A and B are shown apart, each in its own frame.
Chain A
Amino acid sequence: MNNRLKVLRAERDWSQAQLAEHLGVSRQTVNALETGRYDPSLPLAFKIARVFGQPIESIFLDDKA
């Protein structure tokens, strides 16, 4: 699944560690999310949407659609 996490994080000038702290996950998890190697659970996806103030579907893109 593709996502815009890296762009959204860069817009806020946050490091991966800062985003990880906002989300309550490890920096490695943020890295795995950004590189598309790990798809988040629905609760984490909602949390990411809350942190960035955007709907889930504008952050996570279905690459099979």
Chain B
Amino acid sequence: MRKWRPVIKATVITFGGGLLFAFLGGIAVGYASSSGWIAPEMGELIVTAVFAAAIMAGALWIGAEWMRVIDEAAREAHKAAWYWGGTAGMCVSGVGLILSSAGPWRDIIAREIGSGGSPIDYVSAGAALMIAPMLIGYTVVWVWWWLARMRG
């Protein structure tokens, strides 16, 4: 349990600090905007941007500490899962990208899912559709790697 201490510490600081920052940042922005020091939209922009960047940086930190704690076979499992699963997932997303970018499939896809969304919806959907197949591929390859080598 002691060896997991750096991981727990990083997790508590990341998510505890993130929540605390969001809470205090919200209060500060509310106070600053009601006092006329800053436009409310600008305050929200700054707080949410810092929050998002800090949470993701913290997630990287947690991952780094976690990779240091696990043994080399477990690390290999994640490396293989990231490369093969992530790459395969990216290829699935790549098919979607090619088909939705040009050619006859573009019209068919547009007809099926509609084409009336706003550009920001497309940004969010595009990011999610790129990440999801990679995560699914990662999970599938990790489970395969683990069961193939570490059972018993």
Contacts and interface: CB of A to CB of B under 8 A. Distances in A.
A and B held together in a complex: yes
- Chain B contact residues: helix, strand, loop or mixed: helix
Nearest to B146: A28
Contact of B74 (A24, A26, A40, A44): A26
- Chain A contact residues: helix, strand, loop or mixed: loop
Contact of B71 (A25, A35, A37): A25
B70 to A, nearest CB: 8
Contacts, number: 31
Given A26-B74, A40-B72, 16 more contacts: A24-B71, A25-B73, A26-B71, A26-B73, A28-B73, A28-B150, A28-B152, A29-B71, A29-B73, A29-B74, A32-B150, A37-B150, A38-B73, A38-B149, A41-B72, A44-B72
Interface of A: 24-26, 28-29, 31-32, 35, 37-38, 40-41, 44
Interface of B: 71-74, 76, 148-150, 152
